[in-house]
Amino acid sequence: MHTESSIVWGMLFGAIGFGYFMYGRKQSRTVPLLCGIGLFVAPWIVTGTWLLVAAGAILMALPFFIRD
């Protein structure tokens, strides 16, 4: 069951994930592409709000630390 806050976080991470996905696809970069897909899917898999925020923060930070 999703709370209002997890729905809002999911929408935010989905929008950011869309940007990562489009950037990764246009620039042919694997890490932003996969992180964008991960940000799309994370709200469906992760049930707790704090876990969703942690997973989203990690997925958003990965392209800055892992270069391809």
pLDDT of residue 54: 96
Residues 34/10, Cβ–Cβ less than 8 Å: no
Residues 17/35, Cβ–Cβ less than 8 Å: yes
pLDDT of residue 1: 60
pLDDT by 10s per residue, the chain, length 68 = 678 998 999 999 999 999 999 999 999 999 999 999 999 999 999 988 999 999 999 999 999 999 87
pLDDT of residue 59: 96
pLDDT of residue 68: 77
